[in-house]
Structure 1
């Protein structure tokens, strides 16, 4: 009888094998965590959820709102920065390059403090939610710029030459050749970046943005239920990011299929 937990090289597991294997892995992880809780004498209590459900929902909605707005603005930042990195005007090219290196090379938490208390104060950005969206957008814009730049560099030059050979204008080449491939190649990475953005938004609690993490911190302080609140918080973030990860995986499979065709 064939072992349901083993596949041959290059073979994709069937749905039953996938479900059974995931179930076994989840049981092992939950069992290990449960034993660890028993070892340290922690009893989980989630009764606070019903008591503070309105505040939790408000924090969750603000987290989603911040993440979506940050995605839109970071796209508006990342696309021109990606184009600017290949600019013939050297100051523009180096400005974009320095921006990407600074954002990717420094911790987001440090950027939050520096922007909100120095730049935000100097330029009158007093709304913490707006400041948080701006900070997260600037930070994520650097990563999106690298995603787009990598996709642009991966385009086959022969396709651009073929487009010119058949008489395409620059606008037609952009519309029918560059943009479709750019979208298909960046979508998986962009959906993954959205998942990272959702998690990164939790750091905005450092400047008292009342999103999900800050809400749970306040509930934890009020109920003295540290482990229950943070385990619940982890579960909510997992529920937010898992669907995004599945969407990203779906786009990756579609892209592989397109290449295989």
Structure 2
């Protein structure tokens, strides 16, 4: 009977490839979702009822939908339009949508909390609203949402494990494949859990550094 160490030596390459894909998908989703969410937040706050309505619906629907449903919808629904996305592309789209809705709503809350007097002060010195948003409002709001942004990034990493449902060879699916061959269930699932934890602790440490950097300014 093979030992865990010998099986791990053979399977480590597959496991590391799964981990690398998990990290790459998570980074892509967080970056894309953050950009989209940074656009959505100000529209929800300052856009007026009519222009904000579709974004409000988007945020509420996505935040109220399980991530697995978003993943399956992103993978299977485009087929009705004659589009066949690969599982990785569909996964990145689904997780980006999830991230965008959370970043957008969190940013909206931070922008609402900024005193209106700052907008009045910006207008009094001749700043246009786009310049005021870019130089005055967004920097303050982004500092405020740093802890929530870290939480969202952690949720993205955890949600990436659901991409195994559409055949993405990320960390969970590669772990399942190894377990299916070796029957070392406890050992490899514990190792996968430790790898997810290591990634998320790294994100948490980065968030702590950002918070300290922001608070020092």
TM-score (norm 2): 0.88
> Is 1:88 matched up with 2:55?
no
Mapping 1:93-242, distance limit 5 Å: 93-117=52-76, 119-123=77-81, 124-242=83-201
**Which residue of structure 1 lines up, in the alignment, with residue 16 of structure 2?**
57
1:110-163 CA-partner distances (Å, limit 9, x unpaired): 22223322x132231331111110111112211111111111111111122222
How far apart are the structure 2 equivalents of 1:137 and 1:226? 31
C-alpha displacement of 1:257: 5.7
**Which residue of structure 2 lines up, in the alignment, with residue 23 of structure 1?**
none
1:166-210 CA-partner distances (Å, limit 9, x unpaired): 333434423431132123122332222112111110100011100
Report the number of matched residues.
213
How far apart are the structure 2 equivalents of 1:253 and 1:243? 16
User: Which of these two proteins has the greater Rg computed from alpha carbons?
Assistant: 1
1:63-93 CA-partner distances (Å, limit 9, x unpaired): 1110111112112322232233242252x32
How far apart are the structure 2 equivalents of 1:153 and 1:170? 15
Contact 2:70–2:94 under 8 Å retained in 1: yes
Contact 1:77–1:141 under 8 Å retained in 2: yes
C-alpha RMSD over aligned residues: 2.0
User: SS state of the match for residue 169, structure 2?
Assistant: coil
User: SS state of the match for residue 145, structure 2?
Assistant: helix
> Is 1:79 matched up with 2:38?
yes
Contact 1:202–1:211 under 8 Å retained in 2: yes
How far apart are the structure 1 equivalents of 2:43 and 2:84? 27
Contact 2:75–2:86 under 8 Å retained in 1: no
Highest relative contact order (Cα 8 Å, sep 6+), 1 or 2? 2
Contact 2:107–2:142 under 8 Å retained in 1: no
Moved segments of 4+, more than 6 Å: none
